[in-house]
């Protein structure tokens, strides 16, 4: 069953009569437009919320209020290059909250909004990048059905263990793909071969719903986005001829080679690319992960380096139904892409807040440990950061390979770091099979 939004019948409400009525009742006009304003922020809402929104102005029905909302939104809308399967352009609105947010990002070079560059040395930067990419890879895969806990997934990635099932393979693929973007592909222009390569990486050694290797789909594949609980169809992928034509435009847009009616901020463009690829659904599987990967690729390529620290999928995973409905509202409510943009901006803000809180907590603990570790035990910053990490959980551990990967150091340097910590009594090595795992000891408490 195809899911359709419930819409009020506005056909009998004449725009001219509504405007005239407002002009004659100027006393209530301010209250009415204040109500309309509140449908834009703090959240851009649809009719299903407007009809219950209180307090509502007197002397006007909720249907008339919604008609007025649609008039105002229509007058402010900007055409995007994204088209639906009928050939109509999606539109969007520069909602009030965007200007301040973008100003803060741009004034701080896309990064210092989250953390000052002066506070990030090379070692800490690698740690934060690893954390962000790891969390994003896990959450993005879980959004697409990966049935592996965050704790197990993080340990697998840190240990460098090979995946044991399809869910773990999805996570490893997403992690390696994010790494490749941050280290290599951020410097490359988008192209169909690059898009196919990114898709190949995130679907490596996995299968689609038909048990086949994920690939570019054909019209015979009949791809639907279905809610597993209700069985409702939320999206039917467009025909392949349309997809092929639109993919060329998407690639041009990603390379800033497609003219638009007005300036589009890079964060908005990244969100549009996310939506566009998700709407086209060009592959038999992996579309959601690829869409979110494309979001990161574009922002990192444009110099918004701090986004690599922000696992936005981790925030989205907390409200998957809202994420799904952001697509639905945009597709079914007059091609209004603002719903999807607004949802993603709010999640980015939450990700920024979470990261700032994490950084503040880590910084406070690191300052105390750094002072004791450097003065009393002559430890370097990598060793101090490792002990800080291990102090939070007795079950946590590291290996030589993990230490190498997180701080991008040689095998010899990693081995020296760990051996010194063992000699000083901060780590205890335990051999399991071919691997040696290092666990923190109670002596770490001396650094607090």
pLDDT per residue as tens digits for the range 310-321: 899 999 999 999
What is the helix (H) or strand (E) element at residue 99, kind and residue range?
Answer: helix 97-107
What band does 407 get if pLDDT is binned at 50, 70 and 90? confident
pLDDT at residue 118, as a whole number: 46
* Average pLDDT value for residue range 253-281: 94
CB 328 within 8 A of CB 5: yes
Instruction: Select from 308, 338, 368 the last residue of a domain.
Output: 338
Q: Whole-angstrom Cα distance, residue 303 to residue 120?
A: 17
Instruction: Select from 289, 321, 338 the last residue of a domain.
Output: 338
pLDDT per residue as tens digits for the range 386-403: 888 888 667 788 999 889
359 found inside a domain: no
pLDDT per residue as tens digits for the range 153-175: 988 988 788 999 999 999 999 99
250 found inside a domain: yes
347 found inside a domain: no
87 found inside a domain: no
356 found inside a domain: no
* Angle 295-196-144 from CA coordinates, rounded to 5°: 55
pLDDT at residue 405, as a whole number: 81
Q: How many domains does the chain have?
A: 3
Number of neighbours of residue 199 by Cβ within 10 angstroms:
23
Q: Are 200 and 278 part of one and the same domain?
A: yes
Instruction: Select from 338, 370, 391 the last residue of a domain.
Output: 338
Q: Are 140 and 226 part of one and the same domain?
A: yes
Question: Whose CA is closest to 441, among 422, 419, 415?
Answer: 422
Q: Are 32 and 116 part of one and the same domain?
A: no
Q: Are 326 and 388 part of one and the same domain?
A: no
Percent of the chain with pLDDT strictly greater than 90: 59
pLDDT at residue 290, as a whole number: 97
pLDDT at residue 445, as a whole number: 84
Domain that holds residue 382: 378-447
Q: Are 115 and 234 part of one and the same domain?
A: yes
Q: Are 61 and 101 part of one and the same domain?
A: no
CB 129 within 8 A of CB 308: yes
User: Does residue 369 have a pLDDT over 80?
Assistant: no
pLDDT per residue as tens digits for the range 65-94: 999 999 999 999 999 999 999 999 999 999
Number of neighbours of residue 387 by Cβ within 10 angstroms:
22
122 found inside a domain: yes
pLDDT at residue 306, as a whole number: 82
pLDDT at residue 417, as a whole number: 96
User: Does residue 348 have a pLDDT over 80?
Assistant: yes
Q: Are 309 and 420 part of one and the same domain?
A: no
What band does 227 get if pLDDT is binned at 50, 70 and 90? confident
CATH of the domain at 386: 1.10.10.10
User: Does residue 112 have a pLDDT over 60?
Assistant: no
Q: Are 51 and 98 part of one and the same domain?
A: no
pLDDT per residue as tens digits for the range 11-40: 888 888 888 877 777 678 888 999 999 999
Q: Are 230 and 332 part of one and the same domain?
A: yes
* Average pLDDT value for residue range 94-103: 86
Q: Are 263 and 404 part of one and the same domain?
A: no
6 found inside a domain: no
315 found inside a domain: yes
CATH of the domain at 232: 1.10.3290.10
CB 185 within 8 A of CB 193: no
What band does 146 get if pLDDT is binned at 50, 70 and 90? very high
pLDDT at residue 141, as a whole number: 95
Comparing 195 with 25, which gets the higher pLDDT?
A: 195
Q: Are 126 and 249 part of one and the same domain?
A: yes
CB 259 within 8 A of CB 35: no
Q: Are 162 and 293 part of one and the same domain?
A: yes
């Amino acid at each position: 069953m195809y899911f359709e939004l419930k819409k009020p019948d506005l056909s009998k409400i004449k725009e001219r009569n509504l405007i005239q009525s407002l002009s004659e009742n100027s006393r209530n006009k301010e209250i009415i437009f204040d109500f309309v304003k509140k449908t834009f922020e703090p959240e851009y809402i649809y009719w299903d919320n407007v009809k219950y929104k209180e307090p509502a102005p007197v002397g006007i029905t909720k249907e008339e209020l919604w008609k007025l909302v649609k008039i105002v939104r229509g007058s402010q809308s900007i055409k995007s290059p994204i088209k639906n399967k009928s050939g109509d352009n999606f539109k969007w609105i520069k909602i009030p909250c965007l200007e301040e947010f973008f100003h803060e990002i741009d004034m701080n070079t896309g990064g210092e909004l989250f953390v000052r560059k002066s506070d990030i040395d090379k070692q800490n930067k690698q740690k934060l990048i690893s954390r962000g990419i790891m969390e994003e890879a896990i959450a993005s895969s879980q959004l697409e059905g990966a049935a592996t806990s965050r704790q197990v997934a993080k340990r697998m990635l840190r240990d460098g263990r090979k995946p044991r099932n399809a869910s773990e393979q999805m996570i490893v693929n997403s992690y390696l793909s994010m790494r490749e973007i941050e280290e290599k592909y951020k410097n490359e222009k988008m192209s169909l071969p690059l898009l196919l390569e990114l898709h190949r990486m995130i679907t490596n050694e996995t299968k689609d719903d038909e048990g086949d290797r994920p690939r570019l789909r054909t019209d015979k594949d009949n791809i639907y986005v279905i809610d597993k609980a209700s069985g409702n169809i939320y999206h039917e992928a467009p025909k392949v001829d349309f997809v092929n034509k639109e993919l060329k435009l998407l690639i041009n847009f990603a390379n800033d080679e497609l003219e638009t009616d007005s300036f589009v901020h890079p964060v908005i463009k990244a969100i549009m690319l996310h939506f566009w690829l998700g709407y086209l659904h060009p592959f038999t599987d992996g579309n959601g992960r690829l869409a979110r990967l494309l979001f990161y690729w574009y922002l990192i390529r444009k110099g918004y380096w701090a986004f690599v620290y922000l696992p936005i999928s981790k925030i989205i995973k907390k409200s998957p139904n809202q994420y799904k409905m952001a697509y639905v509202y945009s597709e079914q409510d007059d091609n209004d892409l603002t719903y999807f943009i607004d949802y993603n901006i709010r999640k980015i803000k939450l990700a920024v807040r979470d990261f700032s809180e994490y950084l503040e907590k880590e910084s406070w603990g690191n300052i105390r440990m750094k002072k004791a570790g450097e003065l009393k035990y002559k430890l370097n910053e990598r060793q101090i950061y490792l002990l800080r990490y291990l102090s939070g959980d007795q079950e946590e551990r590291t290996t030589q390979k993990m230490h190498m990967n997180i701080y991008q150091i040689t095998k010899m340097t990693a081995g020296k770091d760990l051996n010194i910590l063992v000699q000083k009594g901060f780590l205890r090595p335990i051999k399991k099979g071919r691997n040696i795992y290092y666990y923190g000891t109670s002596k770490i408490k001396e650094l607090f």
